[in-house]
Amino acid sequence: MGFKIAVSGKGGTGKTTIAGLIIGYLIRRGKSPILAVDADANANLNEVLGISVSQTIGGIREKIRTDVPSGMTKDIWFEMKAEETLVETDKYDLLVMGRPEGPGCYCVANSLARHFIEVLTKNYQYIIIDNEAGMEHFSRLTTQNIDLLFIVSDHSVRGLQAVRRIFDLIEELKLAVFRKVVLISKFEKDGDPRLEEEAKRLHLEVAGYIPYDDNISQRDREGEPTYNLPESSPAVRGMKAILDSLL
């Protein structure tokens, strides 16, 4: 079974960029094969990675009631179609979950999707999951049996308090998360005693800080991928220090 790293946090903290930086780190160190999973309904991890996506797992789930041909079982049809959504490159593969559940019962489709993901992830050394903002996804398909969970926060006390609520929800749902840590993004200096004091009060483990990086802002403005920034970039250096200490 591959090592699962999930990234979550409230909107605007840069979690998708963080997921891309993790993938870039693994690629530079030859940690392959790598599966990237975009579990955000507003999918844009492919943009961070610089590739196009035409199909999603959510799109297949929408069609399971109408498109399964006569004589074929739903599980065989779903697995065949799900494999077609996988975008393969020489550095990593990408699976996009797409839209969440719509109206009506999706029990069969969700069960098939969960089974497909479980089977698929066995083929990879690392699985990087970019989750949607908020907390709802923790009861869905992907944020389960996680080896390392990054909750991304901005550099504020209120941001850390939001992280604490996410940690509490994980414990309430009894999800299998081996280690969960806080990552503070877009930081303009190496540390902040106020944040460290608040993290200690809230019993949060801060893995490190990702500094604000002009290189990311420029590539975002130009619509260019950010996962492959040069190793001299501040954000890449920050991510390297964190992952070197955790992996």
- Predicted confidence at residue 191, as pLDDT, reads 62
Cα–Cα distance measured from residue 118 to residue 91, given in angstroms and rounded to the nearest whole number: 21
DSSP string, 20-50: HHHHHHHHHTT--SEEEEEE-SS--HHHHHT
- Predicted confidence at residue 186, as pLDDT, reads 78
Do β-strands 206-211 and 146-153 pair in parallel, antiparallel, or remain unpaired? unpaired
Helix (H) or strand (E) holding 88: strand 87-88
- Predicted confidence at residue 134, as pLDDT, reads 59
Query: Does the pLDDT of residue 4 top 70, yes or no?
Result: yes
Kindly report the pTM of this predicted structure.
Answer: 0.90
38 in Cβ contact with 99 (< 8 Å): no
129 in Cβ contact with 6 (< 8 Å): yes
Looking at residue 68, the DSSP 8-state letter turns out to be P
| CA end-to-end span of the chain | 16
- Give residue-wise pLDDT tens across range 62-107: 788 788 988 898 888 988 988 889 999 999 999 988 765 555 544 5
- Predicted confidence at residue 66, as pLDDT, reads 84
Give every strand in the sheet of 3-9, ordered side by side: 87-88, 93-96, 34-39, 126-131, 3-9, 146-153, 177-187, 206-211
Angle between helices 157-173 and 193-201 (to 10 degrees): 30
For each of the domains in the chain, give its residue range(s) and CATH number, in order of start. 3-246 (3.40.50.300)
- Give residue-wise pLDDT tens across range 9-64: 877 888 999 999 999 999 999 998 999 998 877 778 999 999 999 888 888 877 88
- Could you tell me the two tokens for 189? 């200096």
